[in-house]
């Protein structure tokens, strides 16, 4: 059971690092605005906003994932400690 606990904690830390590297935002972003200038039909320069598909992990997905992995690790650790202390 000990390797499973280490794997769960390692995955939770990896998920935390991934969330931090994606910008540590609260909500998962699926589109990002990209602004560029263009010339309209009258010759004026206008700013055009274009939404580009992307995926940036937010805390709304990473938080429950980390909590679930750490909860599973705590449960496995507790079960291992409980079976080791059983009276013989």
Helix, strand, or coil (residue 25): strand
pLDDT in tens, 15-57: 999 999 988 999 999 999 999 999 988 888 999 999 999 999 9
> How many domains is the chain partitioned into structurally?
1
Domain that holds residue 17: 2-84
More confident residue, 31 or 81: 31
pLDDT at 86: 58
- HEC-encoded secondary structure of 26-78: CCCEEEEEEEEEEECCCCCEEEEEEEEEEEECEHHHHHHHHHHHHHHHHHHHH
């Amino acid at each position: 059971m000990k390797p499973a606990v280490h794997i769960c904690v390692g995955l939770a830390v990896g998920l935390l690092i991934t969330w931090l590297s994606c910008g540590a935002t609260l909500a998962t972003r699926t589109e990002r605005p990209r602004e560029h200038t263009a010339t309209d039909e009258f010759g004026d320069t206008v700013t055009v906003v274009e939404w580009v598909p992307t995926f940036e992990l937010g805390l709304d997905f990473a938080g429950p994932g980390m909590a679930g992995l750490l909860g599973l690790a705590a449960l496995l650790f507790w079960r291992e400690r409980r079976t080791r202390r059983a009276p013989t």
